[in-house]
Structure 1
Amino acid sequence: MRERSGKRGISRGAALLLCACLGATPATAQEMTTTSLIGMHQGSPLSDRARGLGAGGYELQNGSWVSFNQWYHTNWVDMHVDLLTQVTENTGILWGFGTGEQGNKYSIGPSLKLGFLTQAHPNPNSTLSLSVTSVIGGNLTEKSCLADYGDLGSYSVNCRLAAGEMAPQETLKYLVSAKPESMHLWLNYRLTF
Structure 2
Amino acid sequence: MFEAGATVQVLKKGTLFAQRADRLHRLYREYNGIDDLPEIELDRLLANVFPNGLDRAWAEVEAYLRHHEPAELGRAESDGRHRMALLFRSYLGMSSRRAAAGDETRSSDYQIWCGPAMGAFNLWTRSTALEEPGNRHVAEVAGRLLRGAAFYARLAQLRFAGVRIPAECADYRLPPVHQPADAHR
TM-score by length of 2: 0.23
TM-score w.r.t. structure 1 length? Answer: 0.22
* Greater relative CO, 1 or 2 (CA 8 Å, sep 6+): 2
Higher helix fraction (1 or 2)? 2
